Amino acid sequence: MRKDKVETGSGILLADYKRYAAAFGTSERFVEFVKQTKQEATVGVDDLRKVFASREGIAKLVEPVYPFTKLDAKELTEQPKDMSNNVIGLRINCEARTPENAQRMVGFLGRYVMDSIIYVIYSDALRFKDAEIAAKITKLDNAIINGNEKLEEIRRKGASLTQIVARYPKSADQASRQVISVTEDSARYLSPVTQLMTTEVEASEMKETIFRAKREQQQSILLREYYNRAGALLAGTKSGEAILRGLETVKESVFKGKNLDDEVVKEVYNTITLDNQSAISAYLVQSRFIAGPSLPVHRSTGLSKVLALSFLFGLVVSLLLAFGRNWWLENRLRMAD
C-alpha cells in the first residue's frame, strides 16, 4: 500500500536540545540531584562529580544522536526531504573500575538527564500557562461585559419596536405579505414587526454567547488555580520527576470541596486527570533505554566501559509528545461548542 503522506519532524529541535543540555550539564544541578536521590555514597558518583566539574563537563559522556550522520552525508548526495535532522536520542558512555559500576552509572546518568529535561520543560510550560490563563480570564471578562452591553441595547431596541407595533397594529398584517431582499443597509426599512422578531433572535444568540463566555471563564479560573499551585510545586523542587508525580496531588487539592456533580467543574477535573495519567504512562513506559545499559562482553585491561546506545528514543518520539511544549500548549481544555 502506498503511503501518500510521510510524517516528518520527529525528535527534539537542536535549539531545544541545547537548552536542555545547558541545564543537565551544570555541576550544581547534578549535585542537587544526587542529594535528592540520596546517592552520595554510591560508588562512581564521585567520579561523575569530577567529570561535571571538569572543563569539558559531561559533553563526552552524553552525546546527541541524529538520524542523518556525517557518514550518511558521504554516502548520500543529499539529505532525504522527508527526514529532519533533529536529535532522536542520546548516547551515554561511562567508564568505571568495574563493568557493574559503569553500568550502574550509565543508568544513573540517564535518570539524571531525563529528570533535568522534564524539569526544564515543565518550568517553561507552567510559567507560560499561568500567564496565558490569567490573560484569557481578563479577555473573557471583557467579552462578558461587552455582551451584556449589546444585550441591553437589543432589549432597548425591542422595547421601542414593541411600542411602535402597538401604535400601528396594521403593520403586523402587512409584514406577512412583504417579500423583499434584505441587506444590512436596507434592514431598517423592514416592518416594525419583522424588526422586532429579529431583535428577539439577536437577544437569544447574545444570551448564548454570554453563557458560553461565563462557562469558559469559570473553567479558566479553575485552571488558573491548578497552574498556580503547580507553580508552587515547581518552586519547591528542582526534580522533574517530583513535579510530574506531584501534579495529581495538586489536582486533588484544587478540587477538594468543589462540586464534581457540576459538569463545568467535572470537565476540567477529568481533563486534568487524563493528562496526568498520560504523562505518567509515557514516563514509565516509553521513557527508557532502547539498548543498554549493557555490560561489555570482554573485560579490558584498563577501565571497563559501558555504552548505552540511543538512550530514550522516547526522548525523541514519546517524551516530547508527553512533556514538551506541545503537550501543554495543545492540551487545551475541551470546551463545548
Total count of domains within the chain:
1
Q: How far apart are CA 216 and CA 264, in angstroms?
A: 9
Question: What share of the chain in percent tops pLDDT 90?
Answer: 28
Residue 86 lies inside a defined structural domain of this protein: yes
Three-class DSSP category at 201? helix
Residue 337 lies inside a defined structural domain of this protein: no
Q: How far apart are CA 316 and CA 13, in angstroms?
A: 9
pTM for the full predicted model: 0.73
Residue 181 lies inside a defined structural domain of this protein: yes
Find the domain containing 251 and state its range.
Answer: 14-329
Residue 73 lies inside a defined structural domain of this protein: yes
Residue 18 lies inside a defined structural domain of this protein: yes
Tens digits of per-residue pLDDT, 305-325?
454 443 444 444 344 444 444
Kindly write down the DSSP assignment for every residue of 252-283, as one continuous string. HHHHTTS-TTSHHHHHHHHHHHHHHHHHHHII
Please work out, in degrees rounded to the nearest 5, the angle formed at the alpha carbon of residue 337 by the alpha carbons of 327 and 158. Answer: 145
Q: How far apart are CA 254 and CA 249, in angstroms?
A: 9
- Digits of tens for pLDDT over the chain (337 positions)? 333 333 345 677 888 888 888 989 888 999 999 998 898 888 888 888 888 888 888 888 888 888 776 665 555 556 555 556 788 788 888 877 888 888 888 888 888 998 898 898 888 888 888 889 999 999 999 999 999 999 999 999 999 888 888 887 766 555 545 545 455 555 565 777 888 888 899 999 999 999 999 999 999 999 999 999 999 999 888 888 899 899 999 999 999 999 999 999 999 999 999 988 888 887 776 566 555 556 555 554 444 545 444 344 444 434 444 444 444 444 544 444 4
Largest Cα separation within the chain, whole Å, is: 110
Kindly write down the DSSP assignment for every residue of 67-109, as one continuous string. SS-HHHHHHSSS--TT----B-EEEEEEEESSHHHHHHHHHHH
Tens digits of per-residue pLDDT, 80-123?
555 567 887 888 888 778 888 888 888 888 889 988 988 988 88
Residue 151 lies inside a defined structural domain of this protein: yes
Residue with cell 514538551: 324
Cell numbers that stand for 157 in this block? 431596541
